[in-house]
Structure 1
Amino acid sequence: MDRRQFLYLSGGIITLGACKKSNPEILQKKLTFPIHIDSNSKTGHLVKSAIELPITSNLRTETLIVGGGIAGLSAACSSPSKDFMVCELNTRLGGTSSALSINNTLYSQGAHYEHTYLQNYGKDGLKLLEKLQVIKFNSYTNLWDFVDQQHLISSEQETACYVHGEMKPSVLLNSELRKNFFDLLSQFKGDFPLPSTLIPSELHYLDHITFYDYLNKYLPIDGSFINAIDYQMLDDYGGTSKQVSALAGIHYYTCRPYYSNQSIELFSPVEGNYYFINKMANQIPSENLHCNHLVFGLKKEMNRWHIDVLDTKNMIRKKVIANTVVYAGQKHALRYVYPLAFPQFKDVSYTPWVVINIAVSNDIKLPNSKWQNDFISTDTTFLGFADSKIQNPNNNRVLTAYYCFPDMHHYSVQHLETSYEAIVHETIKKISDYYKKDISSAVQEVYIKLLGHAMPMPKTGYLTTSRKLSIDGLAFAGADTGRLPLLFDALDSGIQASKMISNTEI
């Protein structure tokens, strides 16, 4: 579950589309619990102040890595040199795989699960995950098993789906159309591995038509079927079948044998994909990791990269001179950080997320709760929520809800920093509708994570656009380099970026 429309702009006022139809009495009900907002939207505005600050620190390093998410840390773990710096804008590593601490336990605030890796996946990514002791090869099944089996979610506890007030066993219900759908996609079995860069070039034509147009050409699709497909596309890709390419859509259903008799493990620690962040961070000397560090300028001078960095916690401007750079930050920022490189990424569309962690009393009984509780309604912005008690019954219960905005409103999430009551009310109401009981009295605390540019949407042409990912000792990493917004793609991008700069002659 993940993302979708639900705010719109009108005369400078942001309105929660989901809340427009809410009962006014609900919106007027006073919130009696603490609400915490996590957003870095204002950090970018510090650049103007940073430029005016004197440079108080000059540093030298072999490689500077911009971004402490999956891609940045995989680049660090793959670096042949130990002389590198990782600069992360936020107070904690993770990017869109971040986590927060509630009562000394980490809970996911972003991407929160992975599935079994297949034997035909990229060797570099598998090798790193094996080195990190995340996975081990099972010669009996020819699959890569997760080492920490306690984080596996059983099929019985995996998911339930609330569809317009009724509980359903899954989003994509059994039907003749569903059978024909998977029969259609069966021709691509084994052709869509991870990372997405391994997809055979003869299939790239699928990147130039939408998934909807592809399905409409071969199947008698109807509204309810497309609604289900759209939900799943939004869940992973942030766009509907009319927005994402057929290449991306087909990959979703064929990169693993999800709908088969083959056993595919679902791996979801309470901290979500921060688990992978932590595994990589533990391999990196702590002095190489610098949170609260904003990179706001890149320039090549005298065969070296000169990087402007702001320590946002102490408001100290630093100058870093490096032989090479891995830029694993969001590419939309390149228009300010390094404008020469921005044009090749200007086609990237980002979909914003809002993640809401709701800490509730352990006394509340929520029968038939699942790990993932999908929610399909006329408000397409709310995708549902995860229940931490399914991940670990010994921890406090935290219900983590996921919203998605339209890609054209990625800046609008900053307005939730001050106007958050409506979305909190509406989220509690929807979860109460799901359980058919009012949970509001059990809510103890709420944490809101605003992600203005959370993930790149794989629109038509995005995955196959030619990009120069290595320029004079500067390499680009991240899912927003023309890859799918998936952990394994981001991981591999960092590894490949590290390889690119290691081949640079200084």
Structure 2
Amino acid sequence: MNRREAMLAGAALLAGCGDRAATAAPAEWVGASHERGHRLRTLRSGALPAPARQRRCDVLIVGGGIAGLASARALARAGIHDIALLELEDQAGGNSRGHTLAGQRCPLGAHYLPMPDEAGTEVSEFLHQLGLLSSQLGRTVAEERYLCHSPQERLFFEGAWHEGLLPPAAPGSATQIQYRAFAAATARVQRELGFAMPSLRAPWTAGHGALDAQTFAHWLNGHGLDDARLRWYLDYACRDDYGAGLDQVSAWAGLHYFASRHGFHAPGDDAGERDAVFTWPEGNAWLAERLAAPLRDRMQGGRVVLRVDLQRDGVQALAWSAATGETEAWSARAVVMATPLFIAARLLSSVPPALSELVPRMPQAPWLVANLRLREALLDRGIGAPAAWDNVAYGAPSLGYVDAGHQRLSPLPGPTVLTAYWALPQAQRQPLLDGEAAAWAARVVADIAALHPDLPHKLERISLMRYGHAMSIPVPGLRSSPALAALAQMAGRLQFAHSDLSAYSVFEEAFTHGDRAGRGAAAWLRR
């Protein structure tokens, strides 16, 4: 039985009892209802309500994701403490928020952070502050207890588990030849053009622009890279970081995934160790919570910002409180717009031309994140590599699952939470927002049960988080847009801070843009 037959057999096995098993375990949506965000459109469609309260601060930050939190940190480090951060959700962190399911911490989004290199100065400084990095005898050393434990990754391919996520290739096979060809091409663009994380630390040349002008699939076709296993892996990498496949993202984005880190290595050609990443049971919420902790009452959760007006002598904003049902008027000397750019365009009463130009060109990827509480460890179907932190099936619709209990020190398996990730096509945004939790949970269960048929019988509870607009997709032409650079370089009482300014969403980009915007706002106040 090949891999496809096995997965179909697993799905057929679940057809009679899978839905019943999935719904037998309670399934629920978590996080603020998407209707809270849509309230912005409802309230703005008519006359805005008169504010019930008047509030003031020096700097108003709109959006409490990583960029907004990094802005607040930068302002505090500059001596600006009279700030207020307005966040739609009850909890700060954006795509890096966490959850607790039956007493077990687990992520609701981003779940790891690679070790920063010399380009990531802001992130590196923050990690040193937290004690995750330290300088010892002139070397940067990571706190090992927070690095991902081994085994780190495995792939289910043709009936067996294999270490790593790259599909296996026999020595001398056509697949291995193409692996090596792509590795050489990645090393060449890395050497000749330059890439960095965050991307603003790399140069931007005509060569980068040429890559950004075409899809990754088109670039691969032009280089004769058509091997099915290579293309699956590259498509997986793009969906994992960008929420869309290689036929949608630009060639710059596809190559940046590898060239901004440690390249691409064909099996047998890489003598080095696997890239080190930090991770926690709750994912990057561990970092977000430490960024948010110093804010205390300056973090205003459950706020739907309705409008932001720039005036000659300051900023006026109107927000609706989910807790009180009242509107609040905020006055500030400066504002940091740390929301996705398409939200910023809806909130600002006077929209900069660069923002108006960009928003129609920035498609957003919907995501589903499902946390499954298990009463005991799962059994593997098939042979090969042992259970890992990240577990992926070749050809599956999902991006696989991570084990929130992988970092525990106990050698004995026990109850845990699996976090499954789905990057969905844009056409599934509305079905995701309108769908029943039980129906989406059944899809998640069927996907994992194809690998672990005992899953339905060990499943206790499911929590699902839906993101209608999880991240910007780096489509061709977006990263090279002068309008994108113009927004990131704005000076004055209005600062933009979001990973959208890099055309894609990862922690390093969001943190760096937030830090830059916070310092820019502080400079404006001190002019």
Q: Pick the TM interval, shorter chain.
A: 0.7 to 0.9
- Residue 404 of structure 1 is aligned with which of 423, 440, 446? 423
1:297-312 correspondence to structure 2 within 5 Å: 297-312=307-322
Equivalent residue for 2:393?
Answer: 375
**Distance in structure 2 (CA, Å) of the matches to 1:30 and 1:127:** 44
Equivalent residue for 2:479?
Answer: 463
Query: Which shifted more, 196-205 or 167-176?
Result: 167-176
Equivalent residue for 2:146?
Answer: 151
Amino acid in the other structure paired with 1:274: A
**Distance in structure 2 (CA, Å) of the matches to 1:198 and 1:19:** 46
Quote the offset at 1:432 in angstroms: 2.0
Q: Give the TM-score normalised by structure 2.
A: 0.84
**Distance in structure 2 (CA, Å) of the matches to 1:30 and 1:386:** 19
Cα 1:337/1:52, change in 2 over 3 Å: closer
- Residue 376 of structure 2 is aligned with which of 362, 375, 379? 362
Matched, 1:199 2:208: no
Amino acid in the other structure paired with 2:365: T
**Distance in structure 2 (CA, Å) of the matches to 1:411 and 1:131:** 42
Secondary structure of the equivalent of 1:272? coil
Cα 1:219/1:268, change in 2 over 3 Å: same
- Residue 287 of structure 2 is aligned with which of 276, 284, 304? 276
Matched, 1:504 2:524: yes
1:278-427 correspondence to structure 2 within 5 Å: 278-282=289-293, 284-338=294-348, 340-341=351-352, 342-346=355-359, 347-362=361-376, 368-377=386-395, 379-380=396-397, 382-392=398-408, 396-416=415-435, 419-427=436-444
1:170-210: CA deviations, max 9, x gaps? 43234121011101111234621111112212242221122
Runs of 4+ in structure 1 over 6 Å off: 18-22
**Distance in structure 2 (CA, Å) of the matches to 1:192 and 1:225:** 22
Contact 1:306 1:319 in 2 (8 A): yes
1:52-451 correspondence to structure 2 within 5 Å: 53-79=49-75, 80=78, 81-119=80-118, 121-137=119-135, 144-147=140-143, 149-154=144-149, 156-163=150-157, 165-173=159-167, 174=169, 175-189=176-190, 191-202=194-205, 203-205=207-209, 206-257=211-262, 259=265, 260-263=270-273, 264-282=275-293, 284-338=294-348, 340-341=351-352, 342-346=355-359, 347-362=361-376, 368-377=386-395, 379-380=396-397, 382-392=398-408, 396-416=415-435, 419-435=436-452, 437-451=453-467
Secondary structure of the equivalent of 1:249? helix
**Distance in structure 2 (CA, Å) of the matches to 1:220 and 1:234:** 19
Cα 1:146/1:279, change in 2 over 3 Å: farther
Secondary structure of the equivalent of 1:233? helix
Q: Give the TM-score normalised by structure 1.
A: 0.87
Structure number with higher strand proportion: 1
**Distance in structure 2 (CA, Å) of the matches to 1:308 and 1:73:** 20
Contact 2:165 2:233 in 1 (8 A): yes
**Distance in structure 1 (CA, Å) of the matches to 2:428 and 2:454:** 32
Quote the offset at 1:128 in angstroms: 3.0
Secondary structure of the equivalent of 1:424? helix
**Distance in structure 2 (CA, Å) of the matches to 1:483 and 1:405:** 18
Cα 1:132/1:77, change in 2 over 3 Å: farther
Contact 2:373 2:460 in 1 (8 A): yes
Amino acid in the other structure paired with 1:383: L
Cα 1:410/1:471, change in 2 over 3 Å: farther
Equivalent residue for 2:35?
Answer: 42
**Distance in structure 2 (CA, Å) of the matches to 1:404 and 1:21:** 25
**Distance in structure 1 (CA, Å) of the matches to 2:228 and 2:13:** 23
**Distance in structure 2 (CA, Å) of the matches to 1:107 and 1:316:** 33
- Please, which runs of 5 or more residues in structure 1 have no aligned partner? 1-17
Two-structure CA RMSD over aligned residues (Å): 2.6
Secondary structure of the equivalent of 2:451? helix
Contact 1:483 1:489 in 2 (8 A): no
Query: Which shifted more, 308-317 or 127-136?
Result: 127-136
Quote the offset at 1:225 in angstroms: 2.1
Q: Percent identity?
A: 21
Secondary structure of the equivalent of 1:96? helix
Secondary structure of the equivalent of 2:369? strand
Contact 1:58 1:319 in 2 (8 A): yes
Structure number with higher helix proportion: 2
Quote the offset at 1:252 in angstroms: 1.0
**Distance in structure 1 (CA, Å) of the matches to 2:98 and 2:336:** 24
Quote the offset at 1:138 in angstroms: 5.6
Cα 1:478/1:139, change in 2 over 3 Å: farther
Amino acid in the other structure paired with 1:32: A
1:299-323: CA deviations, max 9, x gaps? 1234211011111122121100011
**Distance in structure 2 (CA, Å) of the matches to 1:300 and 1:458:** 30
- Please, which runs of 5 or more residues in structure 2 have no aligned partner? 1-9, 170-175
Equivalent residue for 1:26?
Answer: 18
**Distance in structure 2 (CA, Å) of the matches to 1:334 and 1:22:** 44
Quote the offset at 1:24 in angstroms: 5.6
Cα 1:482/1:317, change in 2 over 3 Å: same
Contact 2:217 2:247 in 1 (8 A): yes
Cα 1:473/1:164, change in 2 over 3 Å: farther
Amino acid in the other structure paired with 1:268: T
**Distance in structure 1 (CA, Å) of the matches to 2:254 and 2:135:** 28
Amino acid in the other structure paired with 2:34: S
Secondary structure of the equivalent of 1:153? coil
Cα 1:344/1:127, change in 2 over 3 Å: farther
Number of residue equivalences:
478
Secondary structure of the equivalent of 1:410? helix
Quote the offset at 1:135 in angstroms: 2.3
Quote the offset at 1:274 in angstroms: 0.8
**Distance in structure 1 (CA, Å) of the matches to 2:22 and 2:251:** 46
Quote the offset at 1:458 in angstroms: 1.1
Equivalent residue for 2:173?
Answer: none
Contact 1:298 1:305 in 2 (8 A): yes
Secondary structure of the equivalent of 1:118? coil
